[in-house]
């Protein structure tokens, strides 16, 4: 695409190239009639996809374009010879209401749901030229409408549907005003600024167009009173008048149709377009809606312009020459962007943005009479009616050239909005940027250039040469977003350049704040601080958005070279380089900052790496953080904990390593031997002589500890933790070593407790107590005291203790104990004698019974009951093996009834009795059962024969 370097605008031929081979916007297509007509069309209307055609013979055809075969053929109540030929018809935008006017002043009303026109008695004799429909677009009734007559009168009327013959359709007719300059050729009413009590009225005659705005009267229900009287009586219209009026020229007022879609210009700006056809040409403009005062009319006319007839191409004669006298404009219609003109048999479309003719085509044959151009306000269709034919003016892609017009008129935002393809958008952006550069608007140009295809080097040099760093920053920020993700190098280079620009800008602002200087008249030190914060926020947003486009090492180097600590750390945090941030603060011994970063981490490796350096300085806070990390492996933190413990000087209750290890053991239920061994080593190596903490931990471990007992024992022996060693020996079952160790350190009570533990081994227990007794006797000052202590064990006798007493001990010192022991022995001897006498007597009785066995006999009477006893289940299984099928089935049934609880009460007792009778009716050892199996071998083939060997 070529650019004109002199002014920066896209050349016209290049704009044309962007739309080459495009189809015409307008095309006039004849409509094939689905019916035959007996006479010519004399009037026509179209609205909401409904065509209404009036024939010269008085018939009216109503055609639904969605269903062309559905044609309503309607006749007037009177013949044309009585009321005259139909002269005009007026159809509201919803196609609900139709007013029919005849040449002799008769007026009729026809509702869409009716086929019988009703005469409007109040309007009899009124030659209607124009109607302004109610902006509410009603369907049940017309509500308040304005009617313009050929004698200059303006009326307000209210017409409703009536099913009763004697009831009038026109409820009232109120004369509002009479203009002295001829027929009222056009009327329009709409709402203003969404205010329900304000209306705008547009009125046209042959020579003037009037604009009237103001409040209306209170809206009455069912047309009870006039609402426009107040407006016409209190407000003065704003007028635009023309000179050299030709009474033979057409005059009409048209308004643009509803926006066809959400992308149209009118949907972005709610103002409609009006066009007034007069003898001088077409006067058109926007129907702006603000301000809602008398100044509104002045504003509307100030922004409007005239398209004179002389600007439209002249008609040609049959030999191809231009006619000397220009033909007048017969009719006009408005599309969204163009004005349609009907001149003779030609249809001419003019772009209303630049008054350029974009369509000029002869449609009608010479001598063919046209009724005019018509627009369907709601459906955005356009029609040309003649006395014999119907033509549709098809509009396609109407707004395709809007961007070019906007670009030519320097409305770049609008041009970009209507540009469709990348080439068009690029042309707009390039031209817009060049224009802004010429105006010195570098910041605005930067945003536009960023979306254009203008060479990167050219744009960058423009801003660099003009020392426009802010504009360059904006351009690069915009440009980097236009490159695809695959353009890795381009994105990295631009992003790195932006980091450099951001840092330079921040340093410059910092210097200004420090020196309290003013960069310009408008940028004071206070505003500089605000700008500094804004630039910093902009940098933060840039990093968040483009962190994937930045090379970490390059960014670190750039930011560090400018000494921007805050930005350096922000960048590292944004890209997830927490090791950099933590290492940065660790080097500077900023422990609080390190903790703040660490609190937001979840990766276990970060905690393992930095705990050793932190725990010696902020142990409590670090342990608080570690205790919130449930996914850590405490084993990996042991080096840090041991390092801390080596430098810690204080009670165990304040030792943070102990605190963390206890948390891991008690709350996380850790069974890792390394964790437990570490805790024991800290407990054992503490300089305090108090073993309560260590002993409490050891006791909490029970009989199946998680620590290494040998390791724990060595540590406790090394650091003289006697009680703990004794406990460990005891836990290991080495009671003798435990007692000996306790006695070696004169821990008599502790040794006594250990000696009592092997309850299931009396011999060992006695041995332990003998060791304790020897120690007690050797240390006791009094023999009696030692003997009293040793009474705590029920296994020791006085004779066991005598060898431990010294040789010089007098027997009188423990005479009582010896006497007591002898008495016990005497009692024991007597008891043993008694037991021996009883045993001798029992033996004698057994001999007598043995001798009597040879003479013992018993008499078994026939039918006597067997006294063998069996387990019920075993007996049942044995019987089931030998009974028949029928009896076995019954036994199973009764067993199921009883076992499943299927019977209760008396029935259960009865079932149990029956089961006993079936199973226990005969002894399996001495009844017919045994006789039937007399030939069964004692040793079955499946049995182990070796068990029967002699």
DSSP line for 145-203? EEEEETTSEEEEEEEE---STTS-SEEEEEEEEE-SSS---EEEEEEETTEEEEEEEEE
The answer to whether position 552 is within a domain reads: yes
The answer to whether position 440 is within a domain reads: yes
State how many domains the chain has: 4
How many other CB atoms are found less than 10 A from the CB of residue 883?
A: 17
Per-residue burial over 235-260, b if 16 or more Cβ lie within 10 Å, else e, is bebbebebeebeeebbbbbbbbbebb
What CA–CA distance (Å, rounded) separates 147 from 88? 13
Listed in sequence order, the DSSP H helices in 732-814 are 735-744, 748-755, 762-779, 783-790, 798-801
What CA–CA distance (Å, rounded) separates 936 from 543? 99
The answer to whether position 522 is within a domain reads: yes
Would you state the structure tokens that stand for residue 25, as one six-digit string?
Answer: 């916007």
What CA–CA distance (Å, rounded) separates 550 from 539? 13
The answer to whether position 168 is within a domain reads: no
772 & 893 share domain: no
601 & 455 share domain: no
Measured between alpha carbons, how far is residue 104 from residues 10, 154, 573 in Å?
Answer: 60, 19, 89
The answer to whether position 343 is within a domain reads: yes
What is residue 106's predicted lDDT score, i.e. its pLDDT? 95
Would you state the structure tokens that stand for residue 301, as one six-digit string?
Answer: 């006319």
What is residue 262's predicted lDDT score, i.e. its pLDDT? 45
The answer to whether position 946 is within a domain reads: no
515 & 611 share domain: no
Crossing angle of helices 722-731 and 735-744, rounded to 10°: 170
422 & 564 share domain: yes
Question: Which of 512, 539, 572 is the last residue in one of the domains?
Answer: 572
| DSSP strand pairing (186-192 vs 170-178) | unpaired
Q: Which helix (H) or strand (E) holds 846?
A: helix 815-852
DSSP of 257-297, one letter per residue? ---SSTTSHHHHS--EEEEEEETTEEEEEEE---S-STHHH
Would you state the structure tokens that stand for residue 904, as one six-digit string?
Answer: 């209760």
The answer to whether position 129 is within a domain reads: no
291 & 421 share domain: no
What CA–CA distance (Å, rounded) separates 617 from 608? 16
766 & 652 share domain: yes
DSSP state of 629: -
Would you state the structure tokens that stand for residue 170, as one six-digit string?
Answer: 């026109």
What is residue 95's predicted lDDT score, i.e. its pLDDT? 93
Q: Averaged in consecutive runs of 10 residues, what is the pLDDT profile of the chain (950 residues)?
A: 32 42 82 80 94 93 88 91 94 95 95 91 94 86 94 94 62 92 94 85 95 86 78 94 82 91 47 92 92 87 93 77 78 95 94 91 90 94 94 90 80 78 82 81 84 85 88 87 87 90 86 69 71 86 87 88 83 77 75 79 78 81 84 87 86 88 89 89 85 85 84 85 79 75 70 68 69 68 60 59 56 59 68 83 85 74 70 78 77 80 79 81 75 76 68
Contact by Cβ (8 Å): 89, 44? yes
Residue listed under structure tokens 């744009």: 459
DSSP of 407-471, one letter per residue? HHTT-HHHHHHH--SHHHHHHHHHHHHHHHHHTT-HHHHHHHHTTS-S-HHHHHHHHHHTT-HHH
What CA–CA distance (Å, rounded) separates 393 from 400? 17
Domain enclosing residue 912, as ranges: 873-940
481 & 556 share domain: yes
What is residue 149's predicted lDDT score, i.e. its pLDDT? 97
- Our separate counts of H helices and E strands in the chain read 35, 28
Beta bridge partners of 29: 392
pTM for the model: 0.57
Q: Which helix (H) or strand (E) holds 574?
A: helix 565-574
Handedness of CA 102, 108, 111, 117 (dihedral sign): negative
Beta bridge partners of 59: 75
Judging by beta carbons within 10 Å of its beta carbon (0-12, 13-18, 19+), is residue 65 exposed, middle or buried?
middle
Contact by Cβ (8 Å): 614, 622? yes
Coil/strand/helix, residue 487: coil
The answer to whether position 612 is within a domain reads: yes
Question: Which of 374, 395, 416 is the last residue in one of the domains?
Answer: 395
Measured between alpha carbons, how far is residue 626 from residues 197, 602, 659 in Å?
Answer: 71, 10, 11
DSSP state of 3: B
What CA–CA distance (Å, rounded) separates 674 from 687? 22
Can you give the CATH number for the domain in which 339 is found?
A: 2.40.128
420 & 305 share domain: no
Nearest to 271 by CA among 293, 290, 286: 286
692 & 646 share domain: yes
709 & 758 share domain: yes
471 & 603 share domain: no
Cα radius of gyration rounded to whole Å, the chain? 59
Question: Which of 786, 808, 830 is the last residue in one of the domains?
Answer: 808
Q: How far is CA 450 from the centre of its chain?
A: 31
Beta bridge partners of 55: 41
| DSSP strand pairing (41-47 vs 59-64) | unpaired
Residue listed under structure tokens 């350190």: 745
Beta bridge partners of 361: 347
Sheet holding 118-119, edge to edge: 86-91, 97-102, 107-111, 118-119
Measured between alpha carbons, how far is residue 371 from residues 244, 329, 342, 557 in Å?
Answer: 26, 13, 10, 80
End-to-end CA separation in angstroms for the chain: 122
What is residue 61's predicted lDDT score, i.e. its pLDDT? 93
587 & 683 share domain: yes
Residue listed under structure tokens 């003997």: 787
What is residue 12's predicted lDDT score, i.e. its pLDDT? 34
């Amino acid at each position: 695409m070529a650019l004109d370097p002199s002014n920066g605008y896209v050349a016209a031929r290049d704009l044309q190239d962007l739309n080459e081979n495009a189809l015409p916007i307008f095309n006039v297509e004849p409509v094939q009639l689905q019916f035959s007509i007996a006479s010519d069309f004399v009037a026509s209307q179209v609205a909401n996809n409904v065509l209404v055609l009036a024939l010269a013979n008085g018939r009216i055809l109503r055609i639904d374009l969605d269903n062309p075969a559905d044609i309503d053929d309607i006749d007037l109540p009177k013949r044309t010879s009585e009321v005259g030929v139909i002269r005009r018809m007026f159809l509201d935008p919803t196609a609900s209401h139709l007013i029919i006017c005849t040449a002799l002043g008769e007026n009729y009303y026809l509702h869409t749901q009716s086929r019988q026109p009703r005469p409007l008695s109040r309007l009899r004799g009124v030659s209607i030229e124009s109607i302004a429909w109610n902006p509410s677009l009603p369907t049940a009734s017309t509500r308040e409408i304005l009617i313009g007559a050929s004698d200059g009168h303006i009326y307000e009327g209210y017409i409703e549907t009536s099913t009763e013959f004697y009831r009038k359709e026109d409820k009232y007719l109120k004369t509002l005003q009479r203009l002295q300059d001829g027929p009222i050729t056009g009327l329009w009413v709409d709402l203003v600024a969404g205010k329900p009590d304000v209306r705008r009225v547009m009125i046209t005659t042959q020579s003037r167009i009037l604009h009237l705005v103001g409040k209306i009267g209170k809206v009455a229900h069912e047309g009870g009173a006039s609402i426009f009287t107040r407006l016409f009586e209190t407000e003065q219209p704003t007028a635009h008048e023309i000179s050299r009026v030709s009474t033979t020229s057409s005059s009409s007022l048209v308004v643009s149709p509803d926006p066809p879609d959400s992308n149209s210009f009118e949907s972005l700006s709610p103002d409609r377009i009006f066009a007034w056809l007069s003898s001088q040409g077409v006067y058109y403009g926007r129907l702006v809606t603000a301000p809602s005062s008398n100044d509104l009319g002045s504003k509307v006319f100030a922004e409007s312009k005239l398209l004179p007839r002389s600007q439209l191409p002249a008609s040609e004669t049959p030999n191809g020459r231009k006619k000397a006298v220009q033909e007048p404009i017969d009719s006009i219609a408005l599309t969204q962007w163009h004005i349609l003109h009907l001149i003779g048999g030609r249809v001419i479309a003019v772009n209303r943005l630049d008054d350029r003719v974009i369509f000029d085509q002869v449609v009608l044959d010479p001598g063919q009479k046209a009724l005019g151009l018509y627009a369907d306000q709601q459906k955005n269709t356009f029609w040309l009616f003649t006395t014999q034919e119907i033509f549709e003016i098809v509009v396609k892609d109407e707004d395709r050239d809007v961007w070019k017009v906007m670009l030519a008129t320097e409305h770049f935002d609008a041009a970009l909005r209507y540009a469709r393809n990348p080439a068009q958008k690029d042309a707009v952006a390039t031209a817009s940027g060049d224009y802004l550069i010429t105006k010195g608007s570098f910041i605005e140009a930067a945003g536009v250039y960023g979306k254009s295809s203008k060479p990167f080097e050219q744009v960058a040099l423009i801003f660099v040469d003009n020392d426009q760093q802010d504009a360059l920053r904006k351009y690069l920020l915009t440009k980097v977003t236009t490159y695809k993700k695959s353009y890795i190098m381009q994105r990295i280079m631009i992003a790195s350049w932006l980091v450099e620009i951001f840092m330079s800008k921040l340093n410059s602002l910092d210097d200004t704040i420090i020196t309290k200087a003013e960069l310009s008249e408008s940028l004071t030190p206070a505003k500089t601080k605000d700008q500094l914060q804004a630039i910093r926020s902009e940098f933060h947003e840039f990093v968040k958005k483009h962190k994937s486009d930045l090379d970490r090492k390059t960014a670190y180097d750039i930011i560090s070279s400018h000494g921007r600590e805050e930005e350096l750390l922000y960048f590292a945090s944004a890209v997830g380089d927490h090791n950099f941030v933590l290492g940065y603060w660790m080097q500077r011994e900023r422990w609080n900052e390190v903790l703040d970063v660490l609190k937001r981490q979840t990766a276990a490796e970060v905690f393992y790496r930095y705990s050793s350096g932190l725990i010696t300085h902020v142990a409590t806070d670090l342990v608080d953080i570690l205790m919130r990390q449930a996914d850590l492996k405490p084993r990996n933190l042991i080096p840090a904990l041991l390092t801390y413990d080596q430098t810690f000087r204080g009670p165990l209750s304040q030792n943070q390593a102990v605190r963390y290890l206890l948390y891991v053991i008690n709350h996380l239920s850790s069974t890792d031997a390394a964790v437990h061994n570490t805790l024991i080593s800290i407990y054992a190596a503490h300089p305090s002589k108090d073993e309560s903490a260590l002993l409490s931990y050891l006791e909490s471990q029970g009989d199946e500890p998680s620590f290494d007992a040998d390791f724990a024992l060595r540590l406790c022996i090394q650091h003289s933790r006697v009680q703990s060693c004794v406990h460990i020996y005891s836990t290991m079952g080495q009671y003798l070593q435990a007692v000996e160790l306790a006695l070696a350190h004169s821990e008599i009570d502790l040794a006594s407790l250990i000696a009592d533990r092997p309850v299931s081994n009396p011999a060992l227990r006695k041995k332990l107590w003998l060791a304790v007794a020897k120690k007690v006797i050797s240390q006791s000052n009094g023999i009696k005291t030692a003997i009293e202590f040793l009474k705590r064990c029920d296994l020791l006798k006085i004779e066991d203790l005598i060898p431990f007493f010294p040789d010089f001990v007098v027997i009188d010192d423990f005479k009582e104990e010896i006497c007591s022991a002898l008495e016990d022995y005497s009692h024991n001897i007597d008891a043993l004698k008694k037991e021996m006498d009883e045993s001798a007597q029992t033996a004698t009785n057994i001999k007598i019974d043995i001798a009597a066995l040879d003479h013992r006999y018993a008499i078994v009477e026939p039918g006597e009951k067997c006294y063998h006893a069996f387990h019920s289940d075993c007996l049942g299984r044995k019987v089931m093996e030998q009974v028949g099928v029928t009896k076995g089935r019954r036994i199973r049934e009764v067993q199921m009834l009883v076992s499943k609880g299927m019977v209760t009460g008396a029935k259960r007792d009865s079932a149990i009795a029956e089961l006993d009778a079936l199973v226990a009716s005969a002894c399996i050892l001495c009844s017919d059962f045994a006789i039937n199996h007399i030939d069964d071998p004692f040793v079955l083939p499946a049995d182990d024969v070796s068990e029967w060997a002699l």
